Amino acid sequence: MPFTSEQRLDDGVLEREFALGEIPGILWTPGSASAPAPLILLGHPGGLHKMYPRLVARARHAAAEGFAAATIELPGSGDRPRSAAAEQARADLRRALEAGEPVDEEIVDRLVLPLVDKAVPEWRAALDALLSLPEIGGPVGYAGGVIAIGLRLAAVEPRISAALLFAGSFVPRTMFEEARQVTIPLHVLLQWDDEGNDRQLALDLFDAFGSKEKTLNANMGGHTGVPQFEGDNGNRFFARHLK
């Protein structure tokens, strides 16, 4: 697993950028780890450079509790090649939202299903590489969005023991059957007034998950208004299931 850069942050966290073929990623490990650290995979909506401030804050918060954290760039985001079909679907979605129109399921399918089909194998390949490092141990958690990617990973990847999912993006109805196959502990965040999310769909998806332990935390506010205390709640959730 080739690392392309390395820096020590002011709280002692070691940040290393890496590349898996064309896929860039970042790994953060606690500065005082004396044993292999449990790993949290940090999901995001794409654009590592744009998302970096939020990702590094999440990683440092996790490292303070003894977790390593890692993320990779999504297909079609950052400097990765764009898909004309995905760009058209994204434009159609944006146009529907701006017009206040219902979002057609066909648009969601065109945008999300190809992304999930490509991103999930890449996350699993990254997990193979990360778990081969001596400083990384199990178990593994997944935190963040795109929620459809987290859903698929939770359903097919046995090395993921728990997931914190952000209900802030559309999920194809065809994936609800996969949600019923998810059995790991789940902690789901929902912003009640999320301007870019279908609240009822998010509630239906939570109901569909097959996990015996699943918690939904709904907070007032828009997409970017997740309260800071949810970071502490997330760390407590992972402490129960990854340590």
What gap in Å lies between CA 76 and CA 57, rounded to an integer?
A: 24
**pLDDT, tens digit (0-9, with 9 covering 90-100), for 154-201:** 999 999 999 999 998 899 999 999 999 999 999 999 999 988 788 999
Cβ neighbors of 16 (< 8 A, separation 6 or more) are 3, 5, 6, 26, 27, 28, 29
CB-count burial class (<10 Å; 0-12, 13-18, 19+) for 189:
buried
Q: Is the pLDDT of residue 149 over 80?
A: yes
Q: What is the pLDDT of residue 177?
A: 96
Task: Tell me, yes or no, if the pTM score tops 0.85.
Answer: yes
φ, ψ dihedrals at 88, nearest 5°: -70, -40
pLDDT single digits (tens) 37-53? 999 999 999 999 999 99
As a whole number of angstroms, the distance between CA 48 and CA 45 comes to: 9
Q: Do the beta carbons of residue 112 and residue 171 sit within 8 Å?
A: yes
69-105 residue pLDDT tens: 999 999 999 999 999 999 999 999 999 988 888 889 9
Alpha carbon distance 27, 71 (integer Å): 7
Q: Which residues fall within 8 angstroms of residue 117, CB to CB, at 6 or more apart?
A: none
| Structural element, H or E, at residue 26 | strand 23-29
Please tell me what DSSP assigns to residue 74.
Answer: P
DSSP annotation of 174: G
Q: Look at the block and give the residue holding tokens 């208004």.
A: 225
Quick one: pLDDT band at residue 33, thresholds 50, 70, 90?
A: low
In whole angstroms, what is the distance from residue 115 CA to residue 109 CA? 10
Distance between CA atoms of residues 9 and 31, nearest Å: 9
Phi/psi at 32 (5° precision): -110, 20
More confident residue, 55 or 103: 55
Q: What is the pLDDT of residues 197-233, one digit of tens each?
A: 889 999 999 999 999 999 999 999 998 889 989 988 9
Cβ within 8 Å of residue 174, ≥6 positions away: 109, 113
Query: Average pLDDT over the chain, rounded to whole?
Result: 94
Average pLDDT for residues 105-124, to the nearest whole number?
96
User: 164 near 237, Cβ under 8 Å?
Assistant: yes
- Taking the alpha carbons of 36, 182, 188, 224 in that order, is the dihedral positive or negative? positive
Beta bridge partners of 23: 20
